[in-house]
Amino acid sequence: MKKYFIFGLAVLFGTVLFMGSMPADTQAKVTYVTIGTGGVTGIYYPTGGAISKIVNKKRKQYNLRVTVESTGGSVFNVNAVMAGDLEFGVVQSDRQYQAWNGIKDWKDKGKQKDLRAICSFHPESIVLVAGDDTGIEKFMDLKGKHVIIGNPGSGQRGNSIDALTACGIDWQKDMRAEGIKAAESAKMLQDGRVDAFFYTVGHPNGSIKEATAGKRKVHFVPVEGACIDKLVAKWPYYAKAYIPVKFYPMARNKKDVNTFAVKATFVTSAKVPDDVVYAITKEVFDNLEDFKKLHPAYGVLTKKNMLEALSAPIHPGAMKYYKEVGLK
Ligand code: GLU
């Protein structure tokens, strides 16, 4: 025991001596920031990982450490960033718009005035996967079925409720809706415990691969029709899109599937210091080619389109960088 104590003292003493001999700048206070993402089988989680990987390479220069947290998704992230529990979040563009304008999930809380945008990432489409044995071939066939519409806190929950409501399906009465997390949805479908699930996600995605490559034969159901056209026309954040089926060769569909889409965006709070946001923005944009190698969904990213689909004001730290490089 005594031996350990003496050893401990020696280590402590040594550390103090060592720190005393370090140049002043290496002792500067380290800032820790966390990015809220989504389920571990989504693309938000590796997106947070990609950002932290790029930025943490320069940790000595910025005295900054970026960590990543798996969360329930977009709505959770907005609320956690606004509460100061997280500094950054990956958030669907529709959720950013709704939070900034104080509508939908933020109707009671009001406008999230401190929400700030940084940039956007990959497009995410509203994916509906159903078992071949369920008889769900068209969107309207969801009536009476057992369907995962997304967990509370996720981005997809709002998209599936929007689509169902627009097409006159009452998700609380006309079907058996489940609020299960995306990370568990593929297995639930494969195990025959649900008929279908919704997920708003970029491509290629691991969960969708898992859902389409199992024993139970499944297919993508087109999210289309006059009711969807009306929905997309109503909201600035929705756009028509398709699911590229080449990524999911085991799904029954042989042609790309019509649906609508949003974009993944990156947000923070007005309370997060400019130099922190500047460092993260600069490292992601200056190293965009390396960043893009970290997930195939980023293939379409350009510095220009990464400034699209933002509704909240751009954080001054990010704006400083965009002005420096002539992007704004
Ligand atoms: N779009 C989903 C959400 O907002 C997350 C998708 C992902 O993790 O890639 O909850």
Where residue 30 sits, what CATH number does that domain have?
3.40.190.10
Q: How many domains does the chain have?
A: 2
Q: Please check whether residues 129 and 249 belong to one and the same domain.
A: yes
Kindly give the parts of the chain with pLDDT less than 70.
1-27
Which of 78, 124, 205 has the most ligand 1 atoms within 8 A of CB, as the residue to mutate? 124
Q: Please check whether residues 131 and 250 belong to one and the same domain.
A: yes
Q: Please check whether residues 103 and 202 belong to one and the same domain.
A: no
Q: Please check whether residues 149 and 43 belong to one and the same domain.
A: no
Q: Please check whether residues 89 and 191 belong to one and the same domain.
A: no
Q: Please check whether residues 64 and 134 belong to one and the same domain.
A: no
Residue 160's domain comprises 124-262
> Does residue 41 belong to any structural domain of this protein?
yes
Q: Which two tokens stand for residue 249?
A: 């060769």
Contact 145, 160 (CB under 8 A): no
Picking from 311, 105, 118, 301, the residue whose alpha carbon sits closest to that of residue 202 is: 301
Note the pLDDT of residue 28: 78
For ligand 1, say whether the CB of 44 is within 6 Å of any of its atoms: yes
DSSP string, 270-284: TTS-HHHHHHHHHHH
Q: Please check whether residues 111 and 142 belong to one and the same domain.
A: no
Q: Please check whether residues 51 and 119 belong to one and the same domain.
A: yes
Q: Please check whether residues 248 and 291 belong to one and the same domain.
A: no
What is the Å distance from ligand 1's center to 124 Cα?
A: 8
> Does residue 139 belong to any structural domain of this protein?
yes
Domain boundary among 247, 262, 277: 262
Q: Please check whether residues 110 and 238 belong to one and the same domain.
A: no
Note the pLDDT of residue 27: 62
> Does residue 1 belong to any structural domain of this protein?
no
Domain boundary among 242, 262, 282: 262
How open is the CA angle 16-18-9, to the nearest 5 degrees?
40
For ligand 1, say whether the CB of 200 is within 6 Å of any of its atoms: yes
Q: Please check whether residues 221 and 313 belong to one and the same domain.
A: no
Q: Please check whether residues 244 and 162 belong to one and the same domain.
A: yes
> Does residue 297 belong to any structural domain of this protein?
yes
Picking from 176, 181, 175, the residue whose alpha carbon sits closest to that of residue 153 is: 181
All residues at 6 or more sequence positions from 284 whose CB lies less than 8 Å from its CB, including other chains: 51, 54, 55, 119, 291
